[in-house]
Amino acid sequence: MARNAEKDQISREKRLNQILDCALEVIALKGIGSVSINDIAVASKVSVGNIYHYFKSKDEIFDEILRRGQTAYGQFVSETEALELPALDKLSLICSGWLSTRNHWAHTLLIHSARLSETSLPSTRSQVTERFTRNLVPITNIIKQGQKEETIIDGDPLELAFYFVSLIQGLTLQRMPGAEVPAPIRVEGVMHLLDKRKRMD
């Protein structure tokens, strides 16, 4: 019985992830105001009834996609901050990790939609902004480390962290399928902007 319960839980988790992964891009492309549960069901290859077995509404799906994405990113930047590496190497890891993930354009679009769209629930908007702000803390600490190492440009660390995150998110949006900008996006180009030593050359 315990083994069957474990198999059921694994199957449920797999189906849940399938729904969320498929919903991510369809919501990003259509917008939370225009997308329907049927759109999500079609993209996920599950029935509408099955969607409602897991979620009460498309807003709940939207909230869960955002929560998972921002939580995973927050864990990643916190773990990167804790590494025994120079600050520029840490920022390079964060930058390359974000830019190399296939669907980060959709995550980025949803984060901005949640904060800017009139169709977003106020609770969604505030939670997304709170998580976004919290996730700036590890990057701010990395900036401070780099300034102590005299490898990162001078300036308010939080402000520079905000610029860094906004830049890599903006670059990710240029990789949206069907709207790619035919220009190279290099991690080295981003890091050059923060590298104090480049300013001294």
Contact (CB, 8 A) for 114 and 124: yes
Give the pLDDT confidence score for residue 137 in this predicted structure. Answer: 98
Give the pLDDT confidence score for residue 114 in this predicted structure. Answer: 86
> Nearest to residue 111, comparing CAs of 99, 98, 120?
120
Give the pLDDT confidence score for residue 30 in this predicted structure. Answer: 85
Superfamily, domain 59-200: Tetracycline Repressor, domain 2 (1.10.357.10)
Per-residue pLDDT of the chain (201 residues; tens, 9 = 90+): 556 666 667 777 888 888 999 898 888 888 878 889 999 999 999 899 889 989 998 889 999 999 999 999 999 999 999 999 999 999 999 999 998 887 788 888 888 888 887 777 888 889 999 999 999 999 999 999 999 999 999 999 999 999 999 999 999 888 877 777 788 889 999 999 999 887 655
Q: CA 143 to CA 18: how far, in whole Å?
A: 37
Give the pLDDT confidence score for residue 140 in this predicted structure. Answer: 98
> Nearest to residue 50, comparing CAs of 38, 60, 66?
38
Give the pLDDT confidence score for residue 68 in this predicted structure. Answer: 92
Give the pLDDT confidence score for residue 104 in this predicted structure. Answer: 82
* Contacts for 185 with CB less than 8 Å, ≥ 6 apart: 99, 171, 174, 175
* Contacts for 74 with CB less than 8 Å, ≥ 6 apart: 131, 134, 135, 138
> Nearest to residue 53, comparing CAs of 43, 42, 41, 62?
41
| φ, ψ at 23 (rounded to 5°) | -65, -30
SS3 category, 39? helix
Token pair 């990710």: residue: 172
Contact (CB, 8 A) for 154 and 176: no
Give the pLDDT confidence score for residue 190 in this predicted structure. Answer: 93
Residue type, 106: A
Give the pLDDT confidence score for residue 197 in this predicted structure. Answer: 84
